[in-house]
Structure 1
Amino acid sequence: MAAIALVTTDMSTIEFDDPDLEPIHAALVAAGHDTVQANWLDESVDWSAFDLAVIRCPWDYMSRVEEFLAWLDRVETLTTLWNPPAFIRWNLDKTYLLTLDHLGVPVVPTLVAASVDEVGEAIAAVVDTGFDNLVVKPTVSAGSKDTGLFSADDPAAVKLAEHIVAMGKQVIVQPAIPSVAEVGEQALMFFNGEFSHAFNKGPLLAHGGGLLSGDEYVEQLSLATPTVDELDVAHRVLDAVRSVAPGLEGRFPLYARIDLVATDEGPLLLEAEMFEPSYNVWLADGLVERFVAAVESVLG
């Protein structure tokens, strides 16, 4: 039996729940592990009392990134964290997409801008490649926070970029892949490098900014069967990550969600979520047990 912490936050302070948290907690307890949900902001938590801390849903980190990174620095000296802190620091910033693209992974074209002028240049570059629509988002974000879908000539795109820059963040500009607005994204979930399950995430962004669901973040999810090409790209992503990302020491991440989009040329990587993704283990029987088995394998 191991003492395990599932790293959370005060869930009453954020805009959405974590549907994975309770199933994972219950399954780890059922497997005989002394498991608690521990708020990363709770200074009374004795992290050294745990054999393992698994990052689950510290989803308010976006508004206090430096504080969260300092927490990682402190807690990694007290217990074992998965995914590893150095790896989380790398994956937290979406500029990792540039690294994976350089390694030959098929990635949605990604431009990074540090100023509003550079955003204008990035938008022009997207138009030059034949796309009329684009997505603007921060390099550090989750839950589609400060993310918008716009026509390339929509002033709202630049306004959102100005807001992101004013927060001290860099801006990502990507062409809007048409299939995302039609059928959404395909998310492939891996535990310790082994494929577990896939699900489709329906279209989320409203054209012109905001969410299709209005002010509330609502995902439309359904189990999916990945294609051979999707599995191939996902494995290429994981192999590239394992070869270049810090903290893994040649291992696979405990958990990794590979979000792909369909194009005529084949699947492209939109994001590789390996910090605090939703697994959606509640979608089918047996999925949470796969995660428990992965946790037990890193416990040794």
Structure 2
Amino acid sequence: MNIALITYEDKGAYDSPTVESEDEKLLLFLKGKGLNIEMVIWNDKNINWENYELAILKSPWDYFDLYEEFKTWLNLLEEKNIRLLNPIDVVRWNADKHYLREIESAGLNITPSIFITKGEEINLNIFFEKFITDKLIVKPCISGGAKNTFKVTIDNVEEINQKLRLLIQKEDFIIQPFLPEILENGEWSFIFFNGVYSHTLVKKAKPGDFRVQPAHGGSVHLQNPDKGLIEIAAEYVKLFAKNCLYARVDGTFVNNKFLLMELELIEPFLFLNTSTQNYEHYYNALKAMI
């Protein structure tokens, strides 16, 4: 079986000291297991996709910048009957943060969220009262890597209002209360392969920042959660990440209650380098699925 490990054309926009090693090490590891696999850029016009029976999304980190092109690519794989992991229908669903509404409707906890539709009149001042908070987080519904993500306070709200009034003409946004627990305790990530729990870590922002991504100076701390916490994260996977090679459940704890921030099913960094066993977990899941 010919397998494409999907990446993106690296133009330096998402550089991080942790990035290259995961993709390259995973590729070498899977080749060492005897798999016929190679790295492929998802929108490379020179690729003959009929050469592949299976494609695995690994790091298509620019998909939200090229979303219409990405949707066309998904349609192409579907037309050519090329299996994608994670599945195409799941990827389409997970690309737009409106999916959080469906998760909440299923009875699972999410960070409180209000969605603003493209072209809508916007005044962020009213949301301080709606959420009973003095800080907000605003980001596009189709985004990643903290792109066009703003931390809003009374001091900068008019500045962000002006920026957002331009951005909202192009796409939908989501508004959430800023959770101080992110700064105090970090953002938790529970990682599963084929529905089976693998490992957990906490991401913390650097002093003076709120973004936990390594590309923005965030740090990573391996965790050993108890069974109860793993079971909470597993509920999101059981309901919304069926037949997925990988799933990353991101959230934080507020008053000892887990609130989902994102269910990452397209291009999450998997922090495989935190243990050699993680690569085995990934391979075993992949082997079971193919």
Q: What TM-score do the two structures reach when normalised by structure 1?
A: 0.87
Paired with 2:37 and 2:281, the residues of 1 have a C-alpha distance of: 17
Q: 1:157 to 1:265 in 2, by over 3 A?
A: farther
1:259–1:269 CA contact under 8 A, matched in 2:
yes
2:205–2:217 CA contact under 8 A, matched in 1:
no
Determine if the alignment matches structure 1 residue 282 to structure 2 residue 285: no
Deviation at 1:162, TM superposition (A): 2.4
SS of 2:239's partner is helix
1:106–1:233 CA contact under 8 A, matched in 2:
no
Deviation at 1:170, TM superposition (A): 0.5
Paired with 1:205 and 1:165, the residues of 2 have a C-alpha distance of: 30
Deviation at 1:233, TM superposition (A): 2.4
Paired with 1:130 and 1:229, the residues of 2 have a C-alpha distance of: 30
Alignment match of 2:188 (pick from 186, 190, 212): 186
**Which aligned segments of 4 or more residues in structure 1 are displaced greater than 6 angstroms?**
none
Counterpart of 1:294 in structure 2: which amino acid? Answer: A
1:216-258 per-residue CA deviation (whole Å, 9 max, x = no partner) reads 633311211224443232122122215xxxxxxxx33111000
Match runs of 1:242-261 below 5 Å: 242=241, 251-261=242-252
2:58 matched to which residue of 1?
56
Alignment match of 1:132 (pick from 127, 134, 142): 134
Match runs of 1:166-205 below 5 Å: 166=169, 168-203=170-205
Moved more, 194-203 or 144-153: 144-153
For structure 2, the residue ranges without an aligned partner over 5 or more in a row are none
Q: 1:213 to 1:8 in 2, by over 3 A?
A: closer
Q: 1:195 to 1:211 in 2, by over 3 A?
A: closer
Query: What number of residue pairs does the alignment pair up?
Result: 285
1:102 matched to which residue of 2?
105
Paired with 1:258 and 1:150, the residues of 2 have a C-alpha distance of: 25
Q: 1:212 to 1:188 in 2, by over 3 A?
A: closer
Deviation at 1:13, TM superposition (A): 4.5
1:221 matched to which residue of 2?
220
1:76 matched to which residue of 2?
78
Deviation at 1:268, TM superposition (A): 0.6
Deviation at 1:50, TM superposition (A): 1.8
Deviation at 1:265, TM superposition (A): 4.4
Alignment match of 2:30 (pick from 28, 31, 37): 28
Root-mean-square deviation over aligned CA pairs = 2.4
1:188–1:226 CA contact under 8 A, matched in 2:
no
SS of 2:11's partner is helix
For structure 1, the residue ranges without an aligned partner over 5 or more in a row are 243-250
2:168 matched to which residue of 1?
165
Paired with 1:148 and 1:204, the residues of 2 have a C-alpha distance of: 16
SS of 1:11's partner is coil
Paired with 1:278 and 1:54, the residues of 2 have a C-alpha distance of: 14
Q: What TM-score do the two structures reach when normalised by structure 2?
A: 0.90
Counterpart of 1:217 in structure 2: which amino acid? Answer: H
1:142 matched to which residue of 2?
144
Q: 1:112 to 1:206 in 2, by over 3 A?
A: farther
What is the percent sequence identity of the aligned residues?
26
